[in-house]
Structure 1
Amino acid sequence: MTKNLQELRALLDEWAREAEVPGIAVGVLQDGEESVLATGVSSVDAPTPVDGDTLFMVGSTSKTFTAAAVLVLVEDGLLNLDEPVVTYLPDLPLADPTARATVTLRHLLTHTGGFLGDVDLDNGWDSDGLAEAVAGFGDLPQVFPTGEVFSYSNSGFVLAGRVLEVVSGTSYEDLVRTRLLEPLGMTDSHFLPWDVLTRHHTVGHTLVPGGTPVVAHTLGLPRSVAAAGGLWSSARDQLRWARFFLLGESTGAAPLGERARTALWEPQRRAALPYEQVALSWLRTRYGDAELVRHGGNVSNLQVSEFVTLPDQRFAVTVLTNSRGGGVVGPRVVDWCLENLAGVPPIPAAPVLPRTPEQLADYTGRYETGGLAFDFTAREDALWARMLVISDPDNSPPAFEVAFVAEDVVARAADTRRATGGFVRDARGRVTAVEFGGRTARRQEVAPA
């Protein structure tokens, strides 16, 4: 593996420059052996070299720790995945009475709670921030019936985090630290900024016109969403998580028994594209014939990460970056590692199915889910997509062309190897929703200008 990793090291420098990513850390676990590579700096304002112990925000990979913490309390006999959440939170505020009476932790951990999943929660950094956030959940609309539709839900994991606090009698952060991080030897993983600031950490960067990275003077997430995306961690600590997840190894007493540990990645139901199935927080996709169990995160386009495993081969790769360009570099590193280290054959490009302007009109319009919108517009004979943060459209990624690779299924036109989204039709054949970025978004009446 050493020779291959030397090749990857050179590519990492090149890809970081191309994508304007100031700093990258990569960790690989293969055959029980760990390897760490790093390039660049933690901040363009105060450039300190990134290494395997540098802390990055891992974003939504935090959800996998929330799910594991739930199973810790299940093993303790304090929680049941299929018991209604209202059993543990008698004052649970949900707008829909049926959802309030029936939503379970299994629904929350599989993104099927049905209430609005992308919401702006900022309750500061007080210890009761999570409780205050959940107290406002009565204002969240019930978009789908509980248990019927997968739509990626940050708010569902916020609620799961609050259940953990109430049942354990301690803060979410302390529970995860004492029951997961410390037994696994993950001493460089933290949730609170005052724990991070005294350690070597990165800062997030925005890209100004021309692609130049500039330090963003914000963390990007408040404490109230810690259970959905607030963990800071290093490449080495992420490999400790991979080692336990895949091999069951820990420096202290194993935080979960074998049955519970493996239950985390067992498929629960179909997911929304680009994912194929969801486990307990973990997302499952295919790379050709290989089955991947994965996560990753994006913290306000400031820090972007990947965490991908091949359980059958006990192989894992994690990629941590500190700018929006990590959304390009991360998948490139993962693909390279799968093909050159794990020996997974490359995925061939899918043939493009032509569509007429009349056919494209079937799909154009705006699709919304909470604070996110997906705009689809027709340009000549092509369909273009753009994901918008409704409250901050200027900080949203640019539009890109998509191509049809199957009936109602699209991929990026520049890379048709993977489906990225799919349109949903009702019983009358009308396009009423889109699965994109793991979200299921409803079509609005008015098309974007």
Structure 2
Amino acid sequence: MDKLDALRRRLERELPALLEHHRVPAAVLAVAVGEETATAAAGVLNLGTGVTATTDSVFQIGSITKVWTATLVLQLVDEGLVDLDAPVQRYLPELKLGDAAVTVRQLLSHTAGFEGDLFTDTGPGDDAVEKFVATLDGVAQLFPPGELFSYNNAGYVVLGRLVEVLRGKHYEDCLREYLGTPLKLQQFSPNALDAIRFRAALGHLEPEPGADLVPAPFWSMLRSNGPAGSSLAMSAADLVAFARMHLAGGAGVLSAESAAAMVERQVSLPPLGIMGDAWGLGWELFDTPAGQVYGHDGNTIGQAAFLRLVPESDLVVALLTNGGDAMGLYADLVPALLKEFGGVEVSLPPRPPEEPEPFAADRYLGTYASAVADLVVSQDDDGRVWLEQRPKGTAAELSSASKSELVLLEGDTLILREAQGGIHLPLVFLGDDGTGRARYVHSGRATRRAE
């Protein structure tokens, strides 16, 4: 396709300058329309070694892995081995969640309601997922299953264990056998031992805001969180092949009914502006005037990945990066490509108003606690409202405490005045604790008031 050839040449010219502007060491961008693909690469995969990026380089896809896990689960549905609306404990009787009624569907759509940002190191062995699920005994139930959306990493590890038990194989082997092999993937790496066979990107971090990027101290996160996205890596071409399978109605890997079910709206999200408008069974759904867009984003240690599909245009856009302002690079590239080749317009993350309006803060003040951080909302003597983020556990090893001003965006949504990681984080305050104060603060995850 002449248009895609022209795009490839344009990207090869423009991508290096965009990487420099956003301080992204390396990126690979693939745009596929039907069976034709334009791919461009630029930058350095590892600032410590100087290895350059090529179009077949392997990057981690982070939480995009969740769509792969969901696909493995829907294959089990196709075979009559799983009922989406059955309690997951039917298949994992040893699982002791806070609410035994949690269903497979609720895990897939992030509505299970239990504490989800749990990153317990259960070792590097093949039993890491099994051991992780055993640590969920008595995990906090934040809200009744099905009540609202709250992004849940641990829930996807449970789904990975479901796949292991019903297949009688380890999760990574299931990825290879049921997705990698039938899709004929060429640079596909479920873990670090596989990734070293390829031209693999390393993530990069800022030791402190504004500092020069440095290579990440390790390549991947914990093996125990593999089904949620801690280690799966691949080339942009392999990610596009997976997306094309879904656009083609499963293409023999998944039934057409299950492929369609994965993009059916299961739950609407609070008005965040940094995620989709709704969630399906694995896929993140974006509402646009011209039709549906779906996809997923992923972040690991110093790497970020973005995937978007436009079914009406048979379009896939995949962007893989290894540090810096990846969201800024996404904003400069992906929305314009979706409009040019897919005829759809997606919104960018919100920004704070230049002249914020005053607001009554009493409903929002207090401490909201999760396993990974305490979020403290306070007001100073001048009436300004502040968010203090205090990481805990593993998160405290990767980030430090921060304090940022919050201003009113709209309704019950406040937003950080200063950007973090290229995003002005919005916070939606939900519910009532019985005294008129918000019960939850929501930033993709619902964090419950502690005081």
Could you say which TM-score interval applies, normalised by the shorter chain? Answer: 0.7 to 0.9
Corresponding residue of 1:184: 183
CA separation of 1:19 and 1:292: change in aligned 2, threshold 3 A: same
Counterparts of 2:52 and 2:83, CA distance in 1: 45
Per-residue displacement from partner, 1:191-237 (whole Å, max 9, x unpaired)? 12211112111111112344312111313412111110031111111
Whether the 8 Å CA contact 2:24–2:326 is kept in 1: the answer is yes
Q: Secondary structure at the residue paired with 1:18? A: helix
Using the TM superposition, give the Cα deviation of residue 187 of structure 1 relative to its aligned residue in structure 2, in angstroms. Answer: 2.6
Corresponding residue of 1:265: 263
Corresponding residue of 2:63: 60
Q: Secondary structure at the residue paired with 1:187? A: coil
Whether the 8 Å CA contact 2:31–2:316 is kept in 1: the answer is yes
Corresponding residue of 2:296: 295
CA separation of 1:282 and 1:383: change in aligned 2, threshold 3 A: farther
Per-residue displacement from partner, 1:263-282 (whole Å, max 9, x unpaired)? 11111122343432110011
CA separation of 1:409 and 1:22: change in aligned 2, threshold 3 A: same
CA separation of 1:52 and 1:410: change in aligned 2, threshold 3 A: farther
Whether the 8 Å CA contact 2:418–2:424 is kept in 1: the answer is no
CA separation of 1:346 and 1:174: change in aligned 2, threshold 3 A: closer
CA separation of 1:375 and 1:290: change in aligned 2, threshold 3 A: farther
Q: Secondary structure at the residue paired with 2:334? A: helix
Corresponding residue of 1:390: 392
Q: Secondary structure at the residue paired with 2:17? A: helix
Shifted more, 222-231 versus 12-21: the winner is: 12-21
- Structure 2 residues not aligned, in runs of 5+: none
Whether the 8 Å CA contact 2:96–2:137 is kept in 1: the answer is yes
Counterparts of 2:366 and 2:436, CA distance in 1: 16
- Structure 1 residues not aligned, in runs of 5+: none
Corresponding residue of 1:119: 118
Corresponding residue of 2:445: 439
Q: Normalising to structure 1: TM-score of the pair?
A: 0.87
Corresponding residue of 1:75: 78
Code of the residue aligned with 1:270 in structure 2: it is S
Pairing 1:280–2:281 present: yes
Corresponding residue of 1:219: 219
Using the TM superposition, give the Cα deviation of residue 346 of structure 1 relative to its aligned residue in structure 2, in angstroms. Answer: 7.2
Per-residue displacement from partner, 1:321-361 (whole Å, max 9, x unpaired)? 111432332333222322344343575988948432x6245
CA separation of 1:165 and 1:314: change in aligned 2, threshold 3 A: same
Q: Secondary structure at the residue paired with 1:69? A: helix
**334, 348, 355: which one aligns with 2:357:** 355
Counterparts of 1:377 and 1:152, CA distance in 2: 25
Pairing 1:109–2:108 present: yes
CA separation of 1:371 and 1:200: change in aligned 2, threshold 3 A: same
Corresponding residue of 2:135: 136
CA separation of 1:19 and 1:378: change in aligned 2, threshold 3 A: farther
CA separation of 1:373 and 1:57: change in aligned 2, threshold 3 A: farther
Using the TM superposition, give the Cα deviation of residue 142 of structure 1 relative to its aligned residue in structure 2, in angstroms. Answer: 1.4
Code of the residue aligned with 1:298 in structure 2: it is N
Code of the residue aligned with 2:391 in structure 1: it is V
Counterparts of 1:278 and 1:51, CA distance in 2: 33
Counterparts of 2:74 and 2:375, CA distance in 1: 34
Q: Secondary structure at the residue paired with 1:60? A: helix
Code of the residue aligned with 1:321 in structure 2: it is T
Give identity over the alignment, percent. 29
**9, 13, 18: which one aligns with 1:15:** 18
Using the TM superposition, give the Cα deviation of residue 158 of structure 1 relative to its aligned residue in structure 2, in angstroms. Answer: 0.5
Corresponding residue of 2:429: 423
Corresponding residue of 2:330: 330
Whether the 8 Å CA contact 2:427–2:442 is kept in 1: the answer is yes
Q: Secondary structure at the residue paired with 1:165? A: helix
Whether the 8 Å CA contact 1:304–1:324 is kept in 2: the answer is no
Shifted more, 366-375 versus 167-176: the winner is: 366-375
Shifted more, 319-328 versus 162-171: the winner is: 319-328
Code of the residue aligned with 1:444 in structure 2: it is A
**394, 407, 413: which one aligns with 2:411:** 407
Whether the 8 Å CA contact 2:42–2:54 is kept in 1: the answer is yes
Code of the residue aligned with 1:334 in structure 2: it is V
Code of the residue aligned with 1:237 in structure 2: it is D
Q: How many residues align?
A: 435
Q: Normalising to structure 2: TM-score of the pair?
A: 0.87
**5, 16, 37: which one aligns with 2:40:** 37
Shifted more, 67-76 versus 27-36: the winner is: 27-36
